[in-house]
Every structure is written in C-alpha cells, then in structure tokens.
Amino acid sequence: MKKLRFTKMHGISNDYVYISTFDQPEEDWEQLAIRLSDRRTGIGGDGIILVCPSDVADAKMRIFNADGSEGKMCGNGIRCVGKFVYDKGLVPAEKTTITIDTLSGIKTLELTVKDGKVQSARVDMEAAILRPADIPVRYDGDRMIDAPLEVDGRIWNVTAVSMGNPHCVTFVDDVDSLDLEKIGPHFENHPIFPERVNTEFVKVIDDHTLQMRVWERGSGETWACGTGACATAVAACLNGYCKKGDDITVHLRGGDLVIRYTDDTVIMTGPASTVFEGTVEI
C-alpha cells in the first residue's frame, strides 16, 4: 500500500489537501481529489492542491476541485501554496517575494512572515478578463455587465469576469436567505458557460464593503473563494457600486479579503493557515 504525505491548509476556511510533488510521484490526481476531499471517508476539503517543482517560478501549483475537475487558478489556494513553499524552506528565509506558476500564468506573492511562518500574502492576481470569448461565456456584447440571464425560471442580472477562471457575479438584496444548494447547480451548469462557472451572490454594504457567498464550479458552496472575491470587486466597480483603486473589503462566510482593482491588475490580500500534516494510504 502506497503512502502519501499531505498538509491540510485553508484560506479563510476554503480548505484543501496540499500535496508536494517535489519528493513524491505523480498519481491519478482526479480520482484522489474526489476521494481525499470527502469529509467522511477522506481527509476532507474543497479539493486538493499540488505544489510542484518549476523551471520558471519558485514553484508551480495545480488545483483539483472536489469533483476531480482541474481548475486554472485558486486565490485562497495560492496564498497557502506561498505559505507551504516558504514554511517548508523550499525558498531561502530572506525571500519573501516569491512567484508561483499556475495554469493562468505566473503570479507574484509578497509574504508576511512572523516567527518564521507565513501569516498572510498579498497576491498580484493580474488583470481581470472581460472579453466574453476569453471567460468563456456565450454572449454577443463586448463585455457581459449587468445582463439579464434566466436561471431556473427567474431573471438575474449578471456580470461575467475571469480571473483565469470563469465567474458569474450577481448582486442581490440579501445573500443569507439564498438557497445555494438549489440555485447554485443551475448557474454552474448554465449552457451559456461552456466550461461551467463559479457564481458569486453579492450584497453591497457600502462603496468599499461587499458581502459574498459563492457556489464554486466543482466544489459547491465553499466558505470563501479568492478569485471569486476578485471577480466580485471588479464587477462591483463595473456596476458603479465601488471605485477602482480603492481597497474593497469582501466579507465571506469564512472571513475577509481585501481586493484592489486598478486599470492593469487586481491585488488580493488575505491570510493562509496550516491545520495539520499527515500521511494517507492510497
């Protein structure tokens, strides 16, 4: 029986099983993501994240959702990958600005370190993508902003944004009362999103504060979504609720992220936590 070493980590309760391939062999990650994510028969998580060697960055990450599908970017995940790489000495202790390669390109992180351990990270998430074909979303206009969309018999106004992965943002008067288990899958699998979609349900608190719940592609409702918080802040600016250049606090079920949307990039700042280490028989 083979054993696999893992580290359980989370970014404001968006939790993943982190596995290093610096010193462990490749496996069937799609199947393992399904098995290890199960909160009763597995380790439990919103998916698994691989921390791999890279020739072009300090490390490379791959993320697999709980249904085994591979995502192209994970905001809460990349902060934890930065913590994993630094805390385990995969970069020198003086190196607190690191790069992580992803399927959505190389991202730069500025790590906040205390007592030799990363507490949080400021991530340059790069430019928001708004061209429908690049999100992708089947939509004729040049950007999908505040557009009506029928989902499960109701009309919602949605804004489509990619942060390297697809997001559908809709603004509502109250997020706490939404039945995401019912409505989430209808958004996730809506035919206008050929690669499915992550959906953010957002209440505007004021011009620099948002409250958000998220139904993630491949994982269902998670307690936080970093790329989703970025897409939400971008959509709030595009819809006139918030202003470009301001720090926007996004309240998620698991905690807060601070997002700044400028003309050429999106900056996300938030915590990263290690819960426990272990080995699992596979």
- Regarding 82 and contact with ligand API (CB under 6 A), the answer is no
| Residue 237 known to be catalytic | no
- Regarding 219 and contact with ligand API (CB under 6 A), the answer is yes
| Identified binder of ligand API from the candidate list 20, 76, 159, 199, rule CB under 6 A | 76
Query: 242 to each of 130, 145, 198, 225, 247, how far by Cα in Å?
Result: 17, 14, 21, 19, 9
73 neighbors 227 (Cβ within 8 angstroms): yes
Q: Name the segment binding ligand API (CB under 6 A); options: 21-29, 63-71, 170-178, 252-260.
A: 63-71
- Regarding 63 and contact with ligand API (CB under 6 A), the answer is yes
Binding track over 5-34 against ligand API, x by CB under 6 A: ---------x--------------------
Q: Name the segment binding ligand API (CB under 6 A); options: 50-58, 105-113, 176-184, 224-232.
A: 224-232
| Identified binder of ligand API from the candidate list 159, 227, 232, 273, rule CB under 6 A | 227
**In this complex, which beta carbon is closest to ligand API, that of residue 72 or of residue 143?**
72
Residue type, 58: D
Residue type, 133: A
C-alpha to C-alpha distance for 184 and 168, rounded to whole angstroms:
11
65: Cα within 13 Å, side-chain hemisphere:
19
User: How many of the chain's residues bind ligand API (CB under 6 A)?
Assistant: 19
The sign of the CA dihedral 248, 216, 19, 60 is: negative
Binding track over 168-187 against ligand API, x by CB under 6 A: --------------------
C-alpha to C-alpha distance for 47 and 65, rounded to whole angstroms:
4
Query: 205 to each of 96, 113, 175, 212, how far by Cα in Å?
Result: 34, 31, 11, 10
| Identified binder of ligand API from the candidate list 9, 19, 59, 74, rule CB under 6 A | 74
State which H helix or E strand residue 180 sits in.
Answer: helix 180-188
Query: 105 to each of 58, 100, 201, how far by Cα in Å?
Result: 13, 8, 27
Q: Name the segment binding ligand API (CB under 6 A); options: 85-93, 128-136, 220-228, 249-257.
A: 220-228
- Regarding 75 and contact with ligand API (CB under 6 A), the answer is yes
Residues 6+ apart with CB under 8 A from 83: 9, 111, 117, 118, 121, 272, 273, 274
**In this complex, which beta carbon is closest to ligand API, that of residue 71 or of residue 86?**
71
**In this complex, which beta carbon is closest to ligand API, that of residue 184 or of residue 226?**
226
Phi-psi region of 50 (alpha: psi -120 to 50; beta: other; left: phi over 0): beta
Phi-psi region of 245 (alpha: psi -120 to 50; beta: other; left: phi over 0): left
- Regarding 217 and contact with ligand API (CB under 6 A), the answer is yes
Contact residues: ligand API, CB under 6 A: 14, 63, 65, 71, 74-77, 165, 198, 216-219, 222, 225-228
Q: Which residues are annotated as a binding site?
A: 14, 65, 75-76, 165, 198, 216-217, 226-227
Active site residues per annotation: 74, 225
What residue numbers does the annotated binding site for substrate cover? Answer: 14, 65, 75-76, 165, 198, 216-217, 226-227
